[in-house]
Amino acid sequence: MKILIIGSNGALGWELANGLPPLFETEKQPLSVICASHSQIEITNASNTFETIARTTPDVIINCAAFTDVDACETNIDKAYAVNAEGAKNVALAGKNLNARVIHISTDYVFDGAKNTPYNETDPPHPLSVYGKSKRAGEEAVQEINGNYTIIRISRLYGQHKSNFVTKILHIGLEKHAVSVVRDQFGSPTYAADLVRALRYVLSLDLHGIYHIANDGICSWYEWAREIFRLSNIQVSLQSIKAEDFKRAATVPQNSSLNCTKFVQATGHKMRPWQEALEEYLGKYVLR
């Protein structure tokens, strides 16, 4: 199987490029991974996208490229839609031209957060932010253009490549010794290394359609930060605040937790609790 990873220098793309080959080697399944960073492919340019992907002749395209700065999307609307919607459309078209399977990475922010329980794949999307709306437009483009697709919605990703909530909150805590974190917005923190292992099942079992994949469990931003500092044995003054008191450009869901039952039933693989994944991440990559 030849896999093209678009956005290979991003948080998830980097993890996939480095983590997928060893997983397939243990199963003695031949796998060829081709990496394409932003400098190598411009998905907002249709002709560049078609030509670049055609040269690689992939069996599978994993599109990790996205404009993910949620607040910046509010003032860079054209860029958000160019990358997250038009870019997804171009990749889907290129995949269709080559009869290649497209795995598109999406987000929990396609939901409005009004639901009190975790979101299922069948729940109607209703994004609140430009980021969420542009990502939903990308989902729709993939669905309309290429029937050979898998859309993976993820939540609160963190990993060893690129800064993330974990590294940022630790930096603030160590620098200022006091942190205020939102207590009334909930989601499912997801460790990139665990997500790579889950995507191995998506590939091996040839899963199609929409799937939610996140580490097991739900927490607020405050609860996540509290666990980060507890596991790191760092003493800080940690204050919980309401979302309305934390001023930001984008309106984000109060609850964007994901129900991953469909994935578990299809694969027999359940993601471990977010607390266990966080402890491993901190021990292996942050607190060494």
Residue 112, token pair as written in the block: 């409005």
DSSP-derived letter for residue 272 is P
Of 134, 110, 137, residue with least CA distance to 122: 110
- List residues bridging with 26 in a β-sheet: none
Q: How far is it, in rounded angstroms, from Cα 74 to Cα 149?
A: 28
Q: Which helix (H) or strand (E) holds 150?
A: strand 149-154
- The closest of 191, 147, 185 to 166, measured between CA atoms, is 191
Torsion, CA 174, CA 177, CA 178, CA 179, rounded to 10:
10
Catalytic residue among 131, 149, 158, 281: 131
How many Å apart are CA 67 and CA 76, to the nearest integer? 10
Paired strand residues for 179: 238
- Identity of the residue numbered 62: I
Q: Is 131 a catalytic residue?
A: yes
Residues annotated catalytic, as ranges:
131
